[in-house]
Amino acid sequence: MTRIDDTFARLKSEGKKAFVAYVMAGDPDFDTSLEIVKSLPGAGVDIIELGAPFTDPMADGPTIQLAGQRALEAGMTMGRTLEMVRAFRAGNTTTPIVLMGYYNPIYSRGVDTFLAEAKEAGVDGLIVVDLPPEEDDELCIPAQKAGLNFIRLATPTTDEKRLPKVLQNTSGFVYYVSITGITGSAEAQAGDVGPEVARIKAQTDLPVIVGFGIKTPDGARNIASVADGAVVGSAIVAQIAEGKSASDVTAFVKSLADGAHSA
């Protein structure tokens, strides 16, 4: 049982859906970013998705691309991202952290070294968007052996033939991408998402969390009502990009979390 498993078990016992918040590590700078991350559990965030900045984030739209650029320009590295996790863990040992990003920074660090460091820092799971199931031996299997959940993305184009392959070595939860496209683009619609979530849940006992295209408390509520929870990223990152204070960002996150939890 990981912290992610424990969190979903607790939420299920409380009859609540999960709210997952994404922020880019180091955006706009290390100290502000850490302050925001530390505030997330108090705002109602059940799981934190921490973006690891990378120079070529091909699955991300402009909002998160720019956040990554700001973080890199502020001196953020994979080492400093793990340092941020350690600093968070000094005051919080229960809220799961999922590191979301791309394989290159992990590969260049060395898989075994990275996994040992991530586990020691307090990372609970990984979402690596550019490693398909055919590459599971590369990182997914070693990560699971190291005690980290490896969370896979399913999309509207993941058909019945492909879905079992996607689910094969997934753990923690399944991240359903509600729209075809990049982060921060079209708005997710519960009417479209519900049948897709049901299709995935027919093939796995894992929770199915829906992200991409959720921008408002109502959106979070509507999507959480047809899934096991909702993820919001670009809308939060946009607040940071506007220069909002950590407390203002936290208040916005709380409104989203309240929406998801009211589903």
User: Beta-strand (E) ranges in 25-138?
Assistant: 47-51, 97-101, 125-128
User: Is 160 one of the catalytic residues?
Assistant: no
Q: Residue 162 has what DSSP assignment?
A: T
User: Is 205 one of the catalytic residues?
Assistant: no
* Residues 205 and 239: beta-carbon distance below 8 Å: no
* Residues 25 and 51: beta-carbon distance below 8 Å: yes
Please give the single-letter amino acid code of residue 34.
L
Give the active site residue among 27, 46, 60, 124.
60
Cα–Cα distances (Å) from 62 to 65, 87, 221, in that order, read: 5, 28, 25
Which two tokens mark 47? Answer: 């799981």
| DSSP codes, 84-107 | HHHHHHTT-SSS-EEEEE-HHHHH
Give the active site residue among 5, 6, 14, 49.
49
Nearest C-alpha neighbor of 208 from the set 163, 144, 247, 252:
163
Would you please indicate which residues are annotated as catalytic (active-site) residues? 49, 60
